[in-house]
């Protein structure tokens, strides 16, 4: 009986392979043959954190719609991606529940239920609106750009006129401190203390390590309880920051607020995803400038000639409206080295759609010479259209609610540090303008893409020499 049973199993398996390859509704969509019958190649790249480069290569070979698994297709067209994200008709895939952690209260990002996402956005939209960001800008700058300048000035005082600093860790510490200042009641001050524990806990939480998640949950719970206790004991009105707006939030349709687990899940999302996205974005921007010296010279000249007095902090509004080349540098970096280049899944009745912002940003039909860092793309009469094609913060009904906070942090940090310091790659830098590809452009530092895409081995690849300008 064993052989007939085994033969039947093999026959069924072969039949399934034949069906997926030749008779599935996806059979006509181009892609590697192995991907048509198995998800193994796709899963292998996801485990390696290399989906972003894998998808770009597949789309370059097969076009804007590629079959990347027996039940998955990938899109690299910005218009198609916008269509998928325009409504809740295409629900988020199972991957999002896994990101959130089984048994954990889903956040606005990890929930797969449209009604939950809509309710959270109604409740929390005001906490991240432009007028709220204007109100908390001083908190952001104090914990962000100003604190980073204090830390780097201290390094220069200790090391001499030229200090060697790791900008990856500096930017991630700064981003965590900013989230702490606006959403947890006070800065975590890790730029000052250089305590890397919380950075490790955040990365471990993204990788679903339970012990680190518990530590982050405790930090979140303590912040909420401390704020409520201070208000209760002093009777004074609370500081109206992002944390307080989340505590006060009510759904205008139902009048309900966030339950304690829901509030914790949203604050954890801000801390884990928000700080890593901002820190990685700043890292890639500085790396791209260091690898493209002419762009670095132009952006520093623009900033220093427009705002020559270092005693004056450059505000977000001034940076956005008076520094067009800095803006172009930021958007071009978010295009060519997007921190959100990993796979985002959406369900359809039978198969799944994978959205690859990295592939969209490297689509040669939309971007001329997509592998070249060229901020000029975002200058001129069509700059607004170009900016709208950068999907780092997603688009449509699932657009990142924290994008205003992220851009406030990014613009103010870059404008102020690029004015104050001269940046130079160390002589032993493994990547830079001295290391060119066969096409004559600087070789990119490889990226590692899980929840956020960052450079591999930042302990070696993200050093810079700084001195006062």
**Count of residues for the chain?**
469
Which pLDDT does position 197 carry in this prediction? Answer: 67
CA distance 456 to 77: 27
Whether 4 is covered by a domain: the verdict is no
Contact indicator for 355, 394 with CB cutoff of 8 Å: no
Whether 11 is covered by a domain: the verdict is no
Which pLDDT does position 119 carry in this prediction? Answer: 92
Strand partners, 463: 166
Instruction: Give residue 87's domain range.
Output: 27-468
Contact indicator for 357, 408 with CB cutoff of 8 Å: no
As for how many domains the chain has, the answer is 1
pLDDT of residue 323 exceeding 90, the answer is yes
Q: What count of other Cβ atoms lies within 10 Å of the Cβ of residue 312?
A: 11
Which pLDDT does position 196 carry in this prediction? Answer: 67
Q: Pairing state of beta strands 343-347 and 91-92?
A: antiparallel
CA distance 83 to 275: 28
Which pLDDT does position 238 carry in this prediction? Answer: 85
Output helix, strand, coil percentages for the chain, rounded to the nearest 5: 60, 10, 30
Distances in Å between the Cα of 158 and the Cα atoms of 145, 153, 439, 462 are: 20, 9, 41, 20
Strand partners, 163: 466
Of the pLDDT bands very low, low, confident and very high (cuts 50, 70, 90), residue 327 is: very high
Q: What is the CATH number of the domain that holds 269?
A: 1.10.630.10
pLDDT of residue 21 exceeding 90, the answer is no
Contact indicator for 432, 423 with CB cutoff of 8 Å: no
Which pLDDT does position 230 carry in this prediction? Answer: 86
Which pLDDT does position 97 carry in this prediction? Answer: 63
Strand partners, 105: none
The residues near 238 (Cβ < 8 Å, ≥ 6 apart) are 227, 230, 231, 244
Whether 7 is covered by a domain: the verdict is no
Whether 428 is covered by a domain: the verdict is yes
Which pLDDT does position 359 carry in this prediction? Answer: 92
Rounded to the nearest integer, the mean pLDDT of the chain is: 89
Whether 14 is covered by a domain: the verdict is no
Which of 46-50, 97-101, 316-320 is predicted least confidently? 97-101
DSSP state of 323: -
Please state the φ and ψ torsions of residue 86, each to the nearest 5 degrees: -70, -25
The residues near 5 (Cβ < 8 Å, ≥ 6 apart) are none
CA-wise closest residue to 434 among 424, 419, 420: 424
pLDDT of residue 299 exceeding 60, the answer is yes
- Mean pLDDT of the 452-467 span: 94
DSSP assignments along 378-430, one per residue? GSSTTHHHHHHT--TT--GGG--TTHHHHHHHHHHHHHHHHHHEEEE--TT-S
Model-level pTM? 0.92
The residues near 345 (Cβ < 8 Å, ≥ 6 apart) are 72, 92, 93, 94, 95, 96, 352, 353, 354, 355
Model confidence over 240-259: pLDDT tens digits?
899 999 999 999 999 999 99
Please state the φ and ψ torsions of residue 274, each to the nearest 5 degrees: -65, -45
pLDDT > 90: percent of the chain: 61
Which pLDDT does position 345 carry in this prediction? Answer: 63
Which of 137-146, 194-203, 321-330, 334-343 is predicted least confidently? 194-203
Which pLDDT does position 92 carry in this prediction? Answer: 72
Which pLDDT does position 397 carry in this prediction? Answer: 85
- Mean pLDDT of the 316-343 span: 93
Model confidence over 160-195: pLDDT tens digits?
999 999 999 999 999 999 999 999 989 999 998 877
Whether 410 is covered by a domain: the verdict is yes
Inter-axis angle of helices 40-48 and 51-62, nearest 10? 140
Contact indicator for 346, 355 with CB cutoff of 8 Å: yes
354 annotated as ligand-binding: no
Whether 22 is covered by a domain: the verdict is no
Instruction: Give the SS3 label for residue 236.
Output: coil
- Mean pLDDT of the 435-464 span: 91
Model confidence over 380-413: pLDDT tens digits?
889 999 999 999 998 888 889 999 999 999 999 9
Of the pLDDT bands very low, low, confident and very high (cuts 50, 70, 90), residue 219 is: confident
Which pLDDT does position 175 carry in this prediction? Answer: 96
Whether 13 is covered by a domain: the verdict is no
Inter-axis angle of helices 147-159 and 403-420, nearest 10? 30
Distances in Å between the Cα of 276 and the Cα atoms of 171, 205, 402, 417 are: 9, 12, 12, 19
């Amino acid at each position: 009986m064993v052989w007939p049973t085994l033969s039947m199993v093999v026959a069924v398996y072969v039949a399934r392979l034949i069906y997926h390859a030749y008779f599935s509704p996806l059979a006509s969509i181009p892609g590697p043959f192995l991907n048509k019958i198995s998800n193994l190649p796709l899963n292998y790249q996801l485990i390696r954190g290399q989906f972003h480069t894998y998808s770009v290569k597949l789309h370059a070979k097969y076009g804007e719609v590629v079959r990347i698994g027996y039940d998955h297709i990938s899109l690299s067209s910005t218009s198609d991606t916008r269509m998928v994200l325009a409504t809740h008709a295409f629900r988020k895939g199972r991957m999002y529940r896994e990101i959130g952690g089984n048994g954990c209260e889903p956040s606005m990002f990890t929930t797969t239920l449209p009604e939950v996402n809509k309710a959270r956005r109604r409740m929390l939209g005001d906490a991240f609106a432009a007028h709220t960001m204007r109100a908390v800008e001083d908190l952001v700058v104090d914990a962000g750009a100003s604190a980073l300048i204090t830390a780097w000035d201290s390094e220069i005082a200790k090391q001499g006129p030229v200090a060697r600093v790791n900008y990856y860790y500096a930017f991630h510490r700064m981003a965590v401190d900013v989230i702490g200042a606006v959403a947890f009641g006070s800065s975590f001050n890790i730029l000052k203390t250089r305590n890397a524990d919380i950075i490790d806990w955040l990365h471990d939480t993204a990788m679903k390590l339970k012990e680190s998640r518990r530590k982050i949950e405790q930090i979140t719970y303590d912040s909420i309880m401390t704020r409520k206790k201070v208000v209760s004991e002093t009777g004074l009105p609370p500081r109206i920051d992002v944390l307080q707006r989340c505590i006060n939030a009510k759904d205008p349709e139902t009048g309900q607020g966030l339950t304690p687990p829901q509030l914790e899940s949203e604050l954890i999302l801000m801390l884990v995803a928000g700080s890593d996205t901002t820190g990685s974005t700043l890292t890639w921007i500085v790396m791209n400038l260091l690898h493209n010296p002419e762009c670095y010279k132009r952006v520093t000249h623009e900033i220093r000639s427009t705002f020559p007095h270092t005693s004056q902090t450059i505000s977000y509004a001034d940076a956005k409206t008076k520094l067009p080349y800095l803006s172009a540098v930021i958007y071009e970096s978010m295009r060519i080295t997007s921190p959100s280049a990993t796979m985002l899944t959406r369900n359809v009745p039978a198969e799944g759609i994978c959205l690859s912002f990295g592939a969209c940003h490297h689509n040669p039909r939309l971007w001329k010479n997509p592998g070249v860092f060229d901020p000029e793309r975002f200058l001129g009469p069509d700059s607004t259209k170009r900016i709208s094609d950068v999907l780092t913060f997603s688009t449509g009904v699932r657009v990142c609610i924290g994008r205003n906070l992220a851009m406030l942090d990014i613009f103010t940090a870059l404008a102020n540090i690029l004015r104050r310091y001269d940046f130079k790659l160390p002589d032993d830098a493994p990547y830079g303008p001295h290391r060119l590809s066969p096409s004559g452009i600087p070789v990119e530092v490889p990226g590692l893409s899980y929840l956020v895409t960052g450079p591999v081995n930042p302990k070696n690849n993200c050093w810079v020499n700084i001195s006062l300008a």
